Amino acid sequence: MTHHPPLHIAINARISPAAGSGGVVTVLMGLIKALGELDDGPEQYILVSTADDSWLAPLIGPNQRIVRHTPPLKPPPSRSQKALNLAARLTRGGLRRVLRLPPRPPTLPRSDGLFEGLGCDLVHFPYQQYVINALPSIFQPWDLQHLHFPQFFSPWERVYRETVYRTGCALAHTVVVASHFMRKDLEAKYAVPPEKIVVIPPGPPLAAHRPVYEADLEATRLRYAVRQPFALYPAVSWPHKNHLRLLDALATLRDHDGLRLNLVCTGHQTPHFATIAARVAALKLTDQVCFTGSIPDADLSALYRLSDFVVFPSLFEGFGAPPLEAWAAGRAVASSGTSALGELLGDAALIFDPLSVESIADALRQMTLQPGLRADLAARGAQRLERYSWPRVARQFRAVYRRVAGQPLDDEDRALLLASG
């Protein structure tokens, strides 16, 4: 038996479910809970959080502890310093606009000694943030959407993502991604060496929360006034989530087929939501469509169970967790097959072209009118879900942590790393 010496891993958890981060934070919650349930190793996990860490406490296990990190307060600038700072910003920004120069690259934060002072052997950055530090690190970017759909990002956002992603991929010991699609993207666009990348798809994020009971279903039905039949689309209202074509498809079913399908859309509402709301009004869909905004995870779990099926018309995903949640709830999925989605879905979803309103409408029509199709897809989804196990994910990450720290690996570690390569 391989002897594993004590290993201390810092995980950067300075993110909040209330920040509109979508699936990234729910996947992090699932990972933290799964690591906390590992009881056959000496590893200890230090979860670095902000003051807003109430979401973390219910998840942690006996091998984990939370360390709050709040940046030290700086004295407020004097009136003269405020004026100088404003003048400098206006001069720099105005000059760059006049000369039509690209935005000034942001500066990546450097550790103020926080991570190094925790007594940890390595640090894991599990989302799109990287802090330059002196420890071996793991970086986990989720997608390179800004290179595929630059029109969905401001110039500053594109520069920021390029700075963070390229620096993180260059400085980290290991880069973890959720799909082979993302692995190929990093190799092609950032020239990240294949041996530096590990593929670890997550499990269903909502599995970190308590089960949904019948009383929860009825309470959720009343709370959101849901009407059957309805399709569920859980997604932050980013432009690439493709809500507009989905709404057009609903109107097509109503106007051309006389088929009324209700739609419930959950998720944080970005500035793009104003455009979505205007489309709902223009298409006269207000009595068919419900946008809930951000909701508690327990309510989202209940909506999965209440739905007739889940629709996922996204234009781009580095992974795409909602199909996993749908399968876990026993629901069928109709989805686009773009980017990493085809790899995730296999034959367990009804695939449509997300750029074609007619294709989306046809998929919605089939899912609404063919209960046998829904039952078959739900059964296939349940079978495919067996590939996405949180206990396996936790063990894969533990094998990565051990390798990054230079520790001896046992047979299971080597097998998990080989499967993730």
Overall average pLDDT of the 219-237 stretch = 95
What is the per-residue pLDDT for 98?
Answer: 53
Phi, psi of 37 (to 5 degrees): -95, -5
Rounded distance between C-alpha atoms, residue 93 and residue 77, angstroms = 21
Going by pLDDT thresholds of 50, 70 and 90, the confidence category of residue 55 is confident
Q: What's the predicted TM-score (pTM) here?
A: 0.88
What is the per-residue pLDDT for 389?
Answer: 92
| Bridge partners, 64 (sequence order) | 45
Rounded distance between C-alpha atoms, residue 311 and residue 263, angstroms = 9
Q: What is the pLDDT of residues 101-143, one digit of tens each?
A: 556 667 788 998 999 999 999 999 999 899 999 999 999 999 9
Closest CA to 311 of 251, 269, 346, 363: 363
What is the per-residue pLDDT for 53?
Answer: 80
Rounded distance between C-alpha atoms, residue 249 and residue 252, angstroms = 5
3-class SS of residue 12: strand
Q: The tokens of 407 are what?
A: 């520790």
Rounded distance between C-alpha atoms, residue 139 and residue 317, angstroms = 18
What is the per-residue pLDDT for 415?
Answer: 96
Q: The tokens of 233 are what?
A: 């689309």
Strand order in the sheet with 350-352: 289-293, 262-266, 230-234, 309-312, 333-336, 350-352
Going by pLDDT thresholds of 50, 70 and 90, the confidence category of residue 73 is very low
Q: What is the pLDDT of residues 3-44, one digit of tens each?
A: 778 999 999 999 877 665 667 888 999 999 999 999 999 999
Phi, psi of 333 (to 5 degrees): -125, 135
Phi, psi of 278 (to 5 degrees): -65, -35
Rounded distance between C-alpha atoms, residue 290 and residue 280, angstroms = 10
Overall average pLDDT of the 317-334 stretch = 96
The distance between the two most distant Cα atoms of the chain, rounded to a whole number of Å, is 72
Query: Which alpha helices (DSSP H) does 243-331 contain, by range?
Result: 243-252, 273-282, 297-306, 322-328
Closest CA to 344 of 388, 374, 379: 388
Mean of all residue pLDDT scores within the chain: 90
Overall average pLDDT of the 388-401 stretch = 96
Instruction: Go through the domains of the chain in sequence order and give each one's CATH number.
Output: 8-72+104-203+389-420 (3.40.50.2000), 210-385 (3.40.50.2000)
Indicate whether 74 pLDDT > 70: no
Indicate whether 84 pLDDT > 70: no
Q: What is the pLDDT of residues 141-185, one digit of tens each?
A: 999 999 999 999 999 899 999 999 999 999 999 999 999 999 999
Rounded distance between C-alpha atoms, residue 323 and residue 277, angstroms = 25
Closest CA to 141 of 197, 60, 216, 74: 197
- Percent of the chain at pLDDT exceeding 90: 78
Alpha-carbon distances of 377 from 315, 319, 383, 385, 413, rounded to whole Å: 22, 19, 10, 12, 34
Inter-residue contact 404 to 173 (CB < 8 Å):
yes
Q: What is the number of residues in the chain? A: 421
* Pairing state between β 262-266 and 174-177: unpaired
Q: What is the pLDDT of residues 355-383, one digit of tens each?
A: 999 999 999 999 999 999 999 999 999 99
Rounded distance between C-alpha atoms, residue 224 and residue 266, angstroms = 11
Inter-residue contact 260 to 44 (CB < 8 Å):
no
